[in-house]
Amino acid sequence: MVSFSVELLGLRIFISVIGIMGNVFLILAIIQTKFSRVKSFELFLLGLAVSNLEEILIVDIYDVVMQQASSGSSTWTCRSLKFLTALGETTSILFTVLISVFRYQKLRDAHKRVNLPIFLDSLGSAWMVSGICVSLAILLSAPIYVVNLDAHMDNTTRNDIGCPPDFFQCHKDNCPTFNRAYKYLFLLFCNMLPLVIITVTSYLIVTVLLSQRSMITPVLSVSGSGQPGKKSKGPRLQRSTVAVLAAMALFQVDWTLYLVFHLAFDPSDFHFWSEMEFFISTTYTSSSPYVYGIGNNLFSLKNILKK
């Protein structure tokens, strides 16, 4: 059991380091461009990377504090770290939804719109919806400060064992109504609803890509090689779209497992609850910057040499 715990700790450190490096590099790759030239999509990626980085760091800090059972961690420390964890997790999810909706809007009716911008192309609109995402994440995470922090314990457990491993601090045999309501509302609005939106958006993006391909193929067959002097942005946009679809697929797998994990298991019956929750939630936050970065040429050799 001890050796297994050491191996889990080593794997957690490895995933955390990989995630921190990827998100930091994505942030640097975006902010090296002057903010006057940053596009809406890059702004959404910046918000995603910052929230991912914050979640990874706070989760690691929280688990260190949680392990210090003998020190009797203060209630305020537990609540604050839990709030920051939920804030990073929720903001990351909302920015992923924003990225998927933005990409679908860009692809839909692109042949009719040509170069006309959509609503989110405006940097002012992008900042506005980004602020809404952050504000909504704060609102959804704030109830952590009023939930019953002792609800994870049974009647024989002392009150000085440090921070509880369960995110919602809710034991199946001792769960206050507010805790239970907040748990299921959080899972509904922060996990299930975004999962449905991203699944539907993925299907719509694939449908648009297939329809565009069916429209372009006959034109190419008639025009032959096309206009050699005209450079198209199609391949670059398609590569970026593939990266978005890959990240959305990773999101769907991870957060489906997260929902099943929270709805099917109880922390009191699962010894490695915090480790399993960490691996499920951090897989997306650690790997998504590499998917987006490579797909949008932000992790190119040229950018690496600049760093």
Helix 75-107 × helix 193-223 angle, to 10°: 30
**What does the pLDDT read at residue 133?**
94
Asked if 198 and 248 count as a contact pair (C-beta separation under 8 A), the reply is: yes
Q: Domain limits of the chain?
A: 2-213+233-306
**What does the pLDDT read at residue 201?**
93
Identify the bridge partners of residue 162 per DSSP, sorted by sequence position. Answer: none
Ranges of residues in the chain with a pLDDT under 70 are: 1-7, 33-36, 62-74, 110-115, 149-174, 214-237, 266-274, 300-307
d(CA 246, CA 100): 11
User: pTM above the 0.85 mark?
Assistant: no
d(CA 215, CA 234): 14
List pLDDT tens digits, range 142-164. Answer: 998 888 766 555 443 434 445 66
d(CA 305, CA 307): 5
**What does the pLDDT read at residue 220?**
45
Helix (H, G, I), strand (E, B) or coil at 146: coil
**What does the pLDDT read at residue 251?**
92
**What does the pLDDT read at residue 98?**
93
d(CA 224, CA 189): 50
Domain 2-213+233-306: CATH architecture, name and number where available:
Up-down Bundle (1.20)
Question: Is the CA virtual torsion 257, 92, 77, 141 positive or negative?
Answer: negative
Q: Position of tokens 């489906």?
A: 256
Identify the bridge partners of residue 174 per DSSP, sorted by sequence position. Answer: 171
Asked if 141 and 87 count as a contact pair (C-beta separation under 8 A), the reply is: yes
Report how far apart, in Å, the C-alpha atoms of 88 and of each of 137, 146, 212 are. 8, 19, 36
**What does the pLDDT read at residue 196?**
94
**What does the pLDDT read at residue 146?**
84
**What does the pLDDT read at residue 209?**
83
